[in-house]
Chain A
Amino acid sequence: MRDFFAMGGYAEYVWPAFAITAIVMIWLAASSRRMVSTAQRRLDALQAARPHRRKKEPRP
């Protein structure tokens, strides 16, 4: 196990590379997901405020 984390003496290069990749990719995914839920919430609120225009439309 210790061998694994040591990465043959290159731990200081290998682990930061994987960590930074994970941080960037997870952050991008989370912020994209947040964009969707924010837009969905605002759209639902707007459509609920004007029910006379559109009767029960399936959510986009």
Chain B
Amino acid sequence: MHRFANPARFMRLSGKVLPWAGAVTVLLLGFGLYLALFVAPPDYQQGETVRIMFIHVPAAWMAMLTYAIMALASAVALIWKHPLADLAAKSCAPIGAGFTLIALVTGSLWGEPMWGTWWVWDARLTSVLILLFLYLGYIALWRAIDDPQKAARAAAILALVGAVNLPIIKFSVNWWNTLHQPASVIKIGGPSIDSSMLWPLIIMALGFHAYLVTLMLWRLRAEVMTRKIRVLQLAQAQESRSQEGGAQESGMEAAS
């Protein structure tokens, strides 16, 4: 684990992985979109609106997965002071917020024709809305605190406390009587949706995963470079200050 903790090694490795991750993302999402829009059949009950599922369900999965990664990285940052972990958690937040927003908006656009309402305050929808607020609060906390170390610590604690929401989202459809349907893919006894819809869904979900990897690597690289920039600027400021001090001293010597 600590072999990858070295920022220089991370930069080298991620630089090699990124072009592939980007290419895989574009290919999978392109193929997945084709399957979702042209190949998958309309549902016998829901008609063509079922196509929204191919973006809504992967986005909702990714919203939770990204939060889980963020919470895990935060725990690693707090416990082991891993030099990349807090930056990795920070890199997750905007991506996860994007996925959550997509899940909420597409869910609303699917709910109106199928349930007859854009929004209900049921357990699933409400807990996902809270997930969005957790992401936004996490981002705001990083921005509000100037000292990066203090910001990382506060944000990590928020991420960990908010992780309680993840099992609530997952099991909300079982624990409470919600309008949202229960799980039909990841459940005991295997998926209950037809393979003509399962395959486009799997391809789209893989594409979303590749997208997350690509964006996380980009953002983490940017964060590592930004931290290095800060160190260099500090060193430069100290250098010029000591040079100024030296110049003043020699000036005084000359005057006396």
Contacts and interface: CB of A to CB of B under 8 A. Distances in A.
Interface stretch (B162-170, B223-231, B245-253): B223-231
A10 B114 CA distance: 10
Please classify the interface of chain A as helix (H, G, I), strand (E, B), loop, or mixed, using the class held by over half of its residues. Answer: helix
B49 A14 contact: yes
Interface in A1-33: 4, 7-10, 13-14, 16-18, 20-21, 24-25, 28-29, 31-33
Given A25-B102, A60-B225, A16 B109 contact: yes
Q: Looking at A17, A24, A42, A46, which has the most chain B CB atoms within 10 Å of its CB?
A: A17
Contacts of B95: 28, 32
Contact of A17 (B47, B109, B218): B109
Nearest to B103: A21
Contacts, number: 102
Contact of A32 (B102, B109, B215, B229): B215
B98 interface: yes
Contacts of A38: 222
Contact of A14 (B51, B101, B222): B51
B83 interface: no
Contact of A10 (B49, B59, B221, B222): B49
B122 interface: no
Interface size on A, as a range, is 20 to 34
Contacts of A8: 42, 47-48
Contact of B102 (A9, A21, A39, A40): A21
A14 B48 contact: yes
Given A13-B49, A13-B52, A25-B98, A39 B222 contact: yes
B105 interface: yes
A43 B225 contact: yes
B232 A40 contact: no
A25 B211 contact: yes
Given A25-B211, A32-B219, A43-B229, A13 B109 contact: yes
Nearest to B18: A36
Nearest to A23: B102
Nearest to A6: B48
B94 interface: yes
A42 B218 contact: no
B110 interface: yes
A50 B236 contact: yes
A13 B113 contact: yes
Interface string A29-58: 101110110111011001101100000000
B11 interface: yes
A32 B94 CA distance: 10
Interface string B78-106: 00000000000000001100100110011
Interface of A: 4, 7-10, 13-14, 16-18, 20-21, 24-25, 28-29, 31-33, 35-36, 38-40, 42-43, 46-47, 49-50, 60
